[in-house]
Structure 1
């Protein structure tokens, strides 16, 4: 293996990361680019965040970044994002389904609109985007979903019923698709983090709740996005080709 390949194990690869303008998605995009991949930065509403992430990538050595606005909770939005990826960089070698939505409502206040928004963003959009991408992805390509440790935790959040349902669905999708696409040499996995310290996570939570959530981890803290993205980057590498159909916990022993 050449020194350049060791330093940039994803050189020459194309990565598409949904919801990658900020937080975990931005960290994943930056890490993939640092490893050499050219990356599509996807956002839905706030362009300045996508521009900031793309500038960070393009001002450093590694892969290039292109920005595409698309609502990946819709099938048409996912199709458009994929088409723009092909137009700018070519077919994706790495597809990371990071975009998500987490509503917080008790059962009594849960309605059909909230149910549909959660499932459209967290399940339907990603599934049909993979369906479209699989037609053009080459053997050896990588697909990574994001799940949550809440699907296996003994302590769950009472207001996260639909979100947890969605991530349970994603985990079953991963298992089935690994058999379906694995015959073509395309791996399908998911990472399953616990709570990650992002503005979205902290929004609406009083300090005592954040302290309690941190206490559920042995290190008594909440990880930052840069502790999650290296696992995605590893799954994208050639060396990870025999990891398929797995839900990989990245949670600091929040769940064991």
Structure 2
């Protein structure tokens, strides 16, 4: 699944699944734009690990359309085009219906839905036939065990899955595929900070593999959807959870 010469724009790439994806796509030969929001040191570490000849770090608030536009423009200035678009940036706030504030709701949708939507809008004009967009959802959208505190988060990720389904029909005329990866419990900072040891043990025991996912497990699936081997796969949501759901 060689990606030699391809250009990948990844948001949320300074940590978690985004970081693992940046390193995996670079390993497969891609040039990588490491999009980040607030941790330049972590982003620079990813760039240095890939190599400054093949990677660049660009700061952007993906909830702001002007900054999204700048992110795409800087990518084009450096690499000339975009072949692979992976919006990994996301936030998760755990609140029930009663607890959710308008501010928290708007922020989650700005990052989780508005960001990927307008990033696709700004990037697609620079993407040619054979390009790939891979969005990020969550297995919780299909898990019957989901608890009420995930309501706003799962609502935002449900929107991403519908975005995947319909956007794939829009950009197919340009030869661009759009798919979505929906991880199960995965050991990211975003996930781990909200879990007790008791909950983690429960999740490990609930998985037939006896563990939760690692970021590399998810990045490997994203790499497949970024390769020509997935050329006849579009509009799909792939649930990457070790058989948990």
TM value normalised by structure 2? 0.97
Partner of 2:45: 52
User: Which of 192, 205, 209 is matched with 1:202 structurally?
Assistant: 192
Q: What is the CA-CA distance between 1:182 and the residue it aligns to?
A: 0.9
- Is 1:184 aligned with 2:174? yes
Partner of 2:153: 163
Q: What is the CA-CA distance between 1:218 and the residue it aligns to?
A: 0.9
CA distance, structure 1, for counterparts of residue 122 and residue 48 of structure 2: 29
User: Which of 1, 12, 17 is matched with 1:19 structurally?
Assistant: 12
CA distance, structure 1, for counterparts of residue 157 and residue 208 of structure 2: 24
Q: CA RMSD in A?
A: 1.3
User: Which of 104, 108, 133 is matched with 1:143 structurally?
Assistant: 133
User: Which of 235, 238, 242 is matched with 1:252 structurally?
Assistant: 242
- Greater relative CO, 1 or 2 (CA 8 Å, sep 6+): 2
Partner of 1:3: none
Determine helix, strand or coil for the equivalent of 2:149: coil
Partner of 1:95: 85
CA distance, structure 2, for counterparts of residue 228 and residue 204 of structure 1: 20
Determine helix, strand or coil for the equivalent of 2:103: helix
CA distance, structure 2, for counterparts of residue 204 and residue 22 of structure 1: 16
Gaps of 5+ in 1: 1-5
Gaps of 5+ in 2: none
Q: Does the 8 Å CA contact 2:135/2:160 hold for their aligned counterparts?
A: yes
Partner of 2:101: 111
Q: What is the CA-CA distance between 1:158 and the residue it aligns to?
A: 2.2
Determine helix, strand or coil for the equivalent of 1:173: helix
Partner of 1:28: 21
